[in-house]
């Protein structure tokens, strides 16, 4: 039995919890609930009180590490490398998830909600389509993927815990930069991170279950797949 399949239930459950959180926030934003406004104003007030020229210069650069265009660009490079190494299943899984969840779904949500950006203090210029945050979604999805994979293949507990903490802190940092710069409400970034993490968790669980079927399908197309990231391992 594949050891990794034992992890699919907690992955699914955690992914569904994040997806429900995203839906709750989306409902609140869509109905203009009072708790959304209260939460947003509280978050903006407490984060933007630290605005300073030197910190702003750093944040403007650091926040771009979560830019969806950068994430897509890096993903394309990784997919090409995986294809070159004949790891087609892993390439299709990674590229398909980032493209569909990180780019297509996020754009659909942005257009559907069409939420205006905060009009309090913007340190960089952005227009509408504030919900959800593309940076938060891309960061949680891409870096969450990396963190999850390291946790799955690592054998030492301390390494798993360290990776989880570092990954979550990095996602939180990018979320805070978007609020600090005044281009997103706190609910934008929490929803974006929730959807990104939900996508990463559920996609990984699905891939673990369909991996062998996908490889068998590729072999029927005369593609000798050599994906090895989640190979069966002995106990």
Confidence of residue 230 (pLDDT cuts 50, 70, 90): low
CB 133 within 8 Å of CB 178: yes
Confidence of residue 234 (pLDDT cuts 50, 70, 90): very low
Smallest Cα–Cα separation from 106: which of 140, 149, 156? 140
Least confident range from 31-35, 88-92, 137-141, 213-217: namely 213-217
- Asked if pLDDT for residue 169 goes beyond 70, the answer is yes
Alpha carbon of 235 to those of 3, 161, 229, 232: distances in Å?
Answer: 8, 21, 17, 10
pTM for the complete prediction? 0.90
Tell me 182's DSSP state: T
CB 145 within 8 Å of CB 200: yes
- Asked if pLDDT for residue 1 goes beyond 50, the answer is no
CB 93 within 8 Å of CB 207: yes
Confidence of residue 224 (pLDDT cuts 50, 70, 90): confident
Q: Which residue do the tokens 């990104």 mark? A: 196
């Amino acid at each position: 039995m594949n050891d990794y399949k034992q992890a699919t239930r907690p992955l699914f459950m955690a992914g569904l919890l994040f997806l429900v959180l995203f839906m709750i926030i989306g409902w609140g934003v869509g109905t203009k609930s009072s708790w959304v406004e209260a939460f947003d104003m509280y978050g903006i007030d407490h984060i933007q009180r630290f605005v300073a020229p030197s910190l702003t210069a750093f944040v403007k650069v650091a926040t771009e590490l979560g830019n969806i265009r950068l994430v897509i660009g890096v993903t394309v490079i990784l997919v090409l490398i995986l294809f070159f190494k004949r790891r087609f299943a892993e390439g299709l899984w990674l590229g398909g998830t980032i493209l569909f969840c990180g780019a297509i779904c996020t754009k659909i949500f942005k257009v559907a909600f069409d939420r205006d950006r905060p009009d309090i203090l913007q340190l960089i210029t952005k227009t509408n389509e504030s919900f959800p945050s593309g940076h938060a979604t891309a960061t949680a999805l891409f870096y969450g993927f990396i963190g999850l994979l390291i946790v799955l293949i690592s054998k030492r507990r301390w390494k798993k815990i360290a990776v989880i903490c570092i990954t979550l802190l990095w996602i939180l940092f990018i979320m805070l930069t978007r609020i600090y710069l005044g281009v997103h409400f706190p609910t934008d970034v929490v929803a974006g991170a929730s959807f990104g993490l939900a996508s990463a968790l559920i996609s990984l669980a699905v891939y673990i279950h369909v991996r062998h079927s996908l490889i068998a399908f590729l072999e029927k197309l005369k593609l000798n797949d050599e994906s090895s990231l989640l190979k069966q391992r002995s106990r």
